[in-house]
């Protein structure tokens, strides 16, 4: 049931932002990159399904939905498909952000095939004075970004509440609040903008972690964050905001974060073989983007086990990888060559001599010597 059908129940919204469709991940292998880029589209399906499941009255998408104003066909067509397979009357509002600003040839331009293909329930914020009424009791005001950077306070440009207007007023803009440390602010949003403009909720986008700007403020201003993280360190990414407006205006809108992400991003540093073994036992790694840093010096048998564990994590033609997307820093995984010749016992003299020479060479060219000793060790083990 939607607000358009004239029900007099409290208003419910789903607020999302920062999909960054088409974002590339050049640091990982191509196939893994495909998984991550595809997940960004998959999560949009989850978000729209969640909106259905929670029977919200509208979906607000607060900018940076594409990573670029002219995304590749795969991304805008994929998004279009998600919209077209739903026969909704529930409005979905798409706001151009600083990554996908509203320009003459952007994906939001009136003649663009993406824009032309959008079903009637999807609205694009293509005017500075964009207004959409949600039934008779609520209204959304929005202003788009028109460039990649700017100093205009878009929230401040939203219309103030007129005397006698007792509708629920929701603001929708993209930009940065002032309180982000060490950030150069673009499209600044003042902390008190929501109250200044007489809003009941200010839906914003830009920061990739879920965050209520002032949790105790009378009017919530919320970043839902990116529904899929874009890089390591975005600790609270992977959510959307579900907002419930009680009919009693004395009460504040209630905001709940709902998890939607496919991938978890994790940085792990292993300083011992035991830590690496524990990591291998983690069953959740299949849906994890893992940056693994190894910092350990191991005797030959343990070094060999460590490399086998790494093969398990990475996968091979014999077995699936244990980790969904893996990048490994293994420069500091070193072989302790002391007493490494123990494994040559019983082998021909020539092999024993080779290992002794490699041990000596480790002082000059450690990496090459360590690799050679390990290869030899493997060959001998397989021969036995």
Partner 1 sequence: MSDVVLHAARSDRSEEFATALGPDFEKQPNRIWDRARSVGEVEAELRRLRESMEERRQEVERVRARTTGLIETRFDDAVKQVFGQIAEELPTILAELDADLERVVIAYLRANEVPHTVTRQVSRKTLRIPPTVHLPAPLSEGLTVAIGQAKRLEDGESLHMAHPLVLAALDEARTAGSGSFSVRFRLTKNAPAALRNRSGARGRLALTRVSYRGFEREDRLAATAVFEDAEVLRPAAAALELVRMPCEDITPPAPALVLTPADLDEVVDEELFFDQTQATQAEGDAFEKAIDQLDQYMEDRLLVLRRAREDTSVRLRDAEEKRSAALGADARAKTEGLLRQLEAELEELDANVERLIARDDDDYGKWKTHAHKRRYEPPQAERLFDLEFVIA
Binding-site ranges for partner 1 (CB under 8 A): 8-10, 12, 31, 34, 38, 45-46, 49-50, 52-55, 242, 244, 246-248, 254, 256, 258-259, 262, 286-287, 316-320, 382
Cα 304 from chain centre: 35
- Residue 238 structure tokens: 């992977």
Residue with Cβ nearer partner 1 (134 or 193): 134
User: In the bound complex, what is the minimum distance in angstroms from residue 82's beta carbon to partner 1?
Assistant: 11
Nearest to 267 by CA among 210, 334, 181, 329: 329
Residue with Cβ nearer partner 1 (54 or 70): 54
User: In the bound complex, what is the minimum distance in angstroms from residue 244's beta carbon to partner 1?
Assistant: 5
Residue with Cβ nearer partner 1 (34 or 180): 34
User: In the bound complex, what is the minimum distance in angstroms from residue 162's beta carbon to partner 1?
Assistant: 26
Judge whether 243 and 12 are in contact, CB under 8 Å. Answer: yes
Nearest to 235 by CA among 198, 209, 213: 209
User: In the bound complex, what is the minimum distance in angstroms from residue 45's beta carbon to partner 1?
Assistant: 7
Q: Which residue has the tokens 């095939």?
A: 113
User: In the bound complex, what is the minimum distance in angstroms from residue 53's beta carbon to partner 1?
Assistant: 4
User: In the bound complex, what is the minimum distance in angstroms from residue 358's beta carbon to partner 1?
Assistant: 22
Pseudo-torsion of CA 107, 109, 115, 121, nearest 10°? Answer: 120
User: In the bound complex, what is the minimum distance in angstroms from residue 192's beta carbon to partner 1?
Assistant: 27
Residue with Cβ nearer partner 1 (55 or 338): 55
3-state secondary structure string across 311-346 = HHHHCCCCCCCCCCEEEEEEEEEEECCCCHHHHHCC
Residue with Cβ nearer partner 1 (259 or 269): 259
Residue with Cβ nearer partner 1 (98 or 137): 137
Residue 140 φ then ψ, to 5°? -110, 130
Residue with Cβ nearer partner 1 (57 or 64): 57
């Amino acid at each position: 049931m939607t607000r358009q059908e004239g029900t007099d129940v409290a208003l419910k919204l789903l607020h999302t932002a920062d999909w960054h469709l088409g974002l590339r991940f050049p640091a990982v292998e191509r196939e893994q990159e495909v998984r991550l880029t595809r997940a960004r589209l998959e999560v949009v399906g989850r978000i729209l399904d969640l909106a259905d499941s929670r029977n919200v009255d509208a979906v607000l998408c607060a900018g940076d939905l594409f990573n670029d104003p002219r995304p590749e066909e795969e991304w805008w067509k994929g998004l279009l498909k998600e919209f077209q397979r739903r026969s909704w009357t529930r409005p979905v509002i798409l706001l151009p952000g600083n990554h996908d600003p509203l320009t003459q040839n952007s994906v939001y331009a009136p003649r663009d095939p993406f824009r032309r293909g959008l079903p009637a329930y999807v609205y694009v914020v293509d005017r500075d004075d964009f207004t959409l009424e949600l039934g008779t009791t609520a209204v959304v005001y929005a202003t788009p970004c028109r460039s990649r950077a700017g100093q205009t306070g878009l929230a401040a440009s939203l219309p103030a509440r007129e005397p006698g207007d007792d509708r629920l007023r929701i603001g929708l803009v993209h930009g940065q609040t002032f309180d982000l440390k060490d950030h150069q602010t673009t499209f600044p949003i003042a902390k008190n903008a929501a109250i200044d403009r007489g809003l009941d909720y200010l839906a914003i986008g830009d920061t990739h972690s879920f965050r209520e700007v002032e949790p105790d403020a009378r009017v919530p201003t919320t970043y839902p964050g990116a529904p899929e993280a874009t890089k390591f360190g975005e600790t609270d990414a992977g959510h959307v905001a579900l907002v419930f407006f009680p009919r009693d205006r004395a009460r504040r809108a209630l905001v709940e974060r709902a998890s939607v992400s496919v991938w978890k991003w994790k940085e792990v540093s292993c300083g011992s073989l035991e830590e690496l073994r524990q990591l291998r036992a983690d069953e959740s790694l299949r849906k994890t983007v893992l940056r693994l840093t190894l910092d350990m010096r191991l005797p030959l048998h343990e070094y060999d086990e460590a490399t086998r564990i790494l093969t398990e994590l990475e996968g091979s033609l014999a077995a699936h990888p244990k980790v969904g997307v893996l990048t490994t820093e293994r420069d500091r995984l070193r072989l302790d060559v002391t007493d490494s010749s123990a494994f040559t016992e019983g082998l021909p003299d020539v092999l024993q001599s080779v290992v002794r020479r490699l041990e000596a060479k480790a002082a000059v060219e450690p990496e090459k010597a360590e690799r050679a000793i390990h290869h030899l060790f493997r060959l001998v083990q397989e021969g036995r």
